Structure 1
Amino acid sequence: MAVFVALGAFLMTLAGGWTAQRVTDRRHLVLGLAGGLMLGVVGLDLLPEALEAAGDEVFGVPAALLLFVAGFLLAHLVERLLAARRAAHGADEHGHRSPEVGLTAAAAMVGHSAMDGVAIGAAFQVGGGMGTAVALAVIAHDFADGFNTYTLTSLYGNARRR
């Protein structure tokens, strides 16, 4: 089973990178669609379910909602710090970009994929059905991971071969 999950994740990531390479001038549309779908799923399905399942409250506010807001603020903070780094190191006065920024972003995607593997393993500890569902969800979203990895690394001047 693990081999099939790994193969599926590999193929979807490869397909995402290949697509990003092919739709150069329309990447923003694909990323906007993916972002909107993700926000819709989170706001209309996952968050209400988490609020219903979570019984703990902190000062009358569901703990799941507080964790959701804390996660969003952490992601926003990291994005702002990377934007500041990009402004400082992304491009010089001649328009040359720093490949190290793109490689750092790609390394973050590797960490993200490692956490996907942890989530799959934890889900299989709960049960076979849960593990299969999480594995399919991770495989499906690996398309976006490949798309983002290619976009980030090529945006910062890394050659395709590298």
Structure 2
Amino acid sequence: MEGFVLVLVLAALPAAGNFLGGLAAELVDVSERTLSLSLHLAAGIVMAVVGLELMPEALEASAPWVPILAFVAGGAFFMGIERTIGSIQARLGAGKENAGPLAIFTGVSLDLFSDGVMIGTATVLNPSLGLLLALGQVPADAPEGFAAIATLRRAGIRRRTRILMSLGFALPILIGAALGYFALRQAPEILTLSVLALTGGALTSVVVEEILTEAHEGDTSVWDPILLTGGFALFAAISVYLGA
């Protein structure tokens, strides 16, 4: 198996992990405390993705100030997404309580998109590296899928819609993989690294403004900080031992 087909197969692995996490959220009764714990775990994982994977790679650029500015632009980018979601919600007559869950859904999609970009570009360079990246993302993406769907469930979004949205998580990672394979592999390095940094800035905003905020909307647990740092440690271990 070679070329673009291999890239799509590898990208499908983290997408499947994310879907299984969302499916678990559908099958069990998720209490407010459990949701808070899962959101803290997901926040820790996303923080590790940004701090250990995206930004260290981005700062290898010949002109580091460019991806640094892209990181700031990523925060502004997510702010624009959040306001767009709020505006659409208002026009449709939906309550503001749904804006947060949909913003989290968008944030998870951005994370999966960045996974796809890295898998696509890495597979071009070395198929074995692409495989390691894909396998390493699976245990990291499952908690994110669980937290995202559990949040949508608490917001009262219909089950059929939630399942379709869970399946929809496959799109951003496949699109990212295609972009990494066809476009960014021949783009200037500074552009590729800036895309990673912009994604990192957006994900940082997602963690602070949406995931952790949503986690404290209901009943919380004294174990929340442990799950937050545990999520970071989980991805760090994946990065070190699986080469993600």
TM-score grouping bracket, smaller chain normalisation: 0.5 to 0.7
Structure 2 CA distance for aligned equivalents of residues 10 and 49 of structure 1: 23
Q: Which runs of 5+ in 1 are unaligned?
A: none
- Residue correspondence of structure 1 range 145-156 to structure 2 within 5 A: 145-151=144-150, 153-156=152-155
Separation (CA, whole Å) in 2 of partners of 1:118 and 1:75:
18
How far apart are the structure 1 equivalents of 2:11 and 2:42? 23
Equivalent in the alignment of 1:74: 77
Find the residue that maps to 1:79 and give its secondary structure.
helix
| Superposed displacement of residue 65, structure 1 | 0.9
Cα RMSD for the two superposed structures: 4.0
Q: Which is higher, the Rg of structure 1 or of structure 2?
A: 1
Instruction: Indicate the larger mover: 69-78 or 109-118.
Output: 109-118
For residues 7 and 77 of structure 1, do their structure 2 counterparts lie closer, same or farther at Cα, with a shift above 3 Å needed? Answer: closer
TM-score for both structures, normalised by structure 2: 0.46
Amino acid corresponding to residue 95 of structure 2 in structure 1? A
| Residue correspondences, number | 151
Query: 2: CA distance between counterparts of 1:153 and 1:72?
Result: 23
List runs of 5+ in structure 2 lacking aligned partners. 162-244
Q: How many angstroms does 1:50 deviate by?
A: 2.7
Hey, what's the Cα distance between the residues in 1 that align with 2:105 and 2:56?
32
SS of residue in 2 equivalent to 1:63: helix
Local SS of the residue matching 2:22 = helix
CA distance in 2 between counterparts of 1:108 and 1:40 reads 15
Cα distance between partner residues in 2 of 1:83 and 1:155: 18
TM-score, normalised relative to structure 1? 0.63
**What is aligned with 1:122?**
121
CA contact (8 A) 1:17 1:150 kept: yes
Q: Give a deviation string over 1:91-122, Cα, whole Å, max 9, x none.
A: 39xx9x7xxx96x9869977875775454233
**Contact persistence 1:5–1:139 (CA under 8 A):** no
Q: 1:90 aligns with which of 90, 94, 111?
A: 94
What is the Cα deviation at residue 70 of structure 1?
Answer: 1.1
